[in-house]
A and B are shown apart, each in its own frame.
Chain A
Amino acid sequence: KNQVEQSPQSLIILEGKNCTLQCNYTVSPFSNLRWYKQDTGRGPVSLTIMTFSENTKSNGRYTATLDADTKQSSLHITASQLSDSASYICVVSERGYSTLTFGKGTMLLVSP
């Protein structure tokens, strides 16, 4: 069964600090990997989408990396802001299928 595992489950950091979230997956054959930000009570919002050939992608203060060989991805957040407090979800797509496999998310709290 395809799986997406995220770590840590939750994280508290001080405003202005950096942090890195991890995602490991077993989905194969791989199509793409996405990171979403989900604020409490809202729908997920896309941060990045990476295909097999991409190993890094940035969106403002968010930088995602992908190692398709080890099936690992990370999301690095630079100079965190209070508004970064949210759940960050890693999602992997299997080539040829319509379904996406979602991780359970990492709950990030940025403290003043």
Chain B
Amino acid sequence: GAGVSQSPRYKVAKRGQDVALRCDPISGHVSLFWYQQALGQGPEFLTYFQNEAQLDKSGLPSDRFFAERPEGSVSTLKIQRTQQEDSAVYLCASSPRGGSYGELFFGEGSRLTVL
């Protein structure tokens, strides 16, 4: 596709449910980032992939958060046993270059609401 695509755009989950958020980066982009954005705040880093390798997961808030990019393209962010504090917009971004040097292209985000 022309841009970064994320699905679902909106997800409502009951506390304790598992959720999976998908990111389709721009074709050929090496880097993929996940960010968490709370209402009225700037995005907070979660994790970074270079191709299929997860090089940095220091931003994942707990072991309930897990991300993968098995073939170096599509990525999935999984949140297990969701809590109310997980409610946020989850943004995915891809870049044609490795690291944080290239321009980032963001998706529209997946808004998660945990009841």
Chain B residues packing against A (C-beta within 8 Å): 4, 31, 33, 35, 40-45, 48, 50, 55-56, 58-59, 91, 93, 99-101, 103-109
Question: What separation, in Å, do the CA atoms of A41 and B107 have in the docked complex?
Answer: 11
Interface size class of chain A, counting residues whose CB lies under 8 Å from the partner chain: 20 to 34
Nearest chain A residue, comparing its CB with the CB of B104:
A46
Report which of A41, A42, A98, A103 forms a contact with B48, defined as CB distance below 8 A: A98
Nearest chain B residue, comparing its CB with the CB of A92:
B100
Contact A43 B103 (CB under 8 A): no
Say whether A100 faces chain B, with CB atoms less than 8 Å apart. Answer: yes
Nearest chain A residue, comparing its CB with the CB of B38:
A104
Given contact pairs A43-B91, A98-B100, A100-B100, A105 touches B59 in the complex (Cβ within 8 A)? no
Question: What separation, in Å, do the CA atoms of A4 and B43 have in the docked complex?
Answer: 12
